Structure 1
Amino acid sequence: MIVFITGGNDNGKSEYAEDLVLKLSPGGGAAGYTRIYLATMGARDPESLKRIEKHIFRRKDMEYITIEKSYDVGSINLEEVDKINNNNSDNKRILLIEDIPNLLAGEMFKGSEFNPHVADKITDDIKKLISVCDHTVIVTNEVFSDGITYDEYTTTYLKEFGTINQRLAAISDKVVELVCGIPLVIKK
Structure 2
Amino acid sequence: MAVFITGGARSGKSSFAEQYAMKVATKGIYIATCQPFDEELEQRISKHKLNRRDSGFQWTTIEEPYDVAERLEQIVGEQSASEAQGMDLPVILLDCLTLWLTNWLIRLDDNETKQSSLGIEIAKLLKSIQSCPFPLIIVSNEVGDGIVPAYPLGRIFRDEAGRLNQQVAAICERAFLVTAGIPIELKAIAFSWEQL
TM (norm. structure 2) is: 0.81
* 1:62 counterpart letter in structure 2: F
Assess, with a 3 A threshold, how the Cα gap between structure 1 residues 41 and 126 changes in structure 2: closer, same or farther. farther
Residue correspondence of structure 1 range 34-183 to structure 2 within 5 A: 35-60=28-53, 61-76=56-71, 77-79=74-76, 82=79, 88-90=82-84, 91-110=88-107, 116-117=114-115, 118-183=118-183
Task: For residues 74-116 of structure 1, give each alpha carbon's deviation from its aligned partner in whole angstroms, at most 9, with x where no partner exists.
Answer: 2221156559xxx824342421000011100111222665653
Cα pair 1:101 1:141 within 8 Å, conserved = yes
* Bigger shift: residues 91-100 or 157-166: 91-100
- Greater C-alpha Rg: 2
Cα pair 1:39 1:70 within 8 Å, conserved = yes
Task: For residues 4-35 of structure 1, give each alpha carbon's deviation from its aligned partner in whole angstroms, at most 9, with x where no partner exists.
Answer: 1111111211110001011111xx2xxxxx52
Please list every run of 5 or more consecutive structure 1 residues that lacks an aligned counterpart in the other structure: 29-33
Residue correspondence of structure 1 range 4-23 to structure 2 within 5 A: 4-23=4-23
* Bigger shift: residues 140-149 or 165-174: 140-149
Structure 1 position 50, deviation (Å): 1.6
Please list every run of 5 or more consecutive structure 2 residues that lacks an aligned counterpart in the other structure: 189-196
Cα pair 1:72 1:107 within 8 Å, conserved = no
Question: Partners in 2 of 1:120 and 1:163 — Cα distance?
Answer: 14
Task: For residues 34-67 of structure 1, give each alpha carbon's deviation from its aligned partner in whole angstroms, at most 9, with x where no partner exists.
Answer: 5211000000112211211111011113212211
Structure 1 position 127, deviation (Å): 3.1
* Bigger shift: residues 37-46 or 104-113: 104-113
Question: Partners in 2 of 1:148 and 1:129 — Cα distance?
Answer: 30
TM (norm. structure 1) is: 0.84
Structure 1 position 166, deviation (Å): 0.4
Assess, with a 3 A threshold, how the Cα gap between structure 1 residues 106 and 175 changes in structure 2: closer, same or farther. same
Question: Partners in 1 of 2:100 and 2:35 — Cα distance?
Answer: 9
* 1:67 counterpart letter in structure 2: I
Question: Partners in 2 of 1:36 and 1:127 — Cα distance?
Answer: 19
Alignment correspondent of 1:31: none
Assess, with a 3 A threshold, how the Cα gap between structure 1 residues 43 and 181 changes in structure 2: closer, same or farther. same
Aligned residue-pair number: 178
* 1:41 counterpart letter in structure 2: C
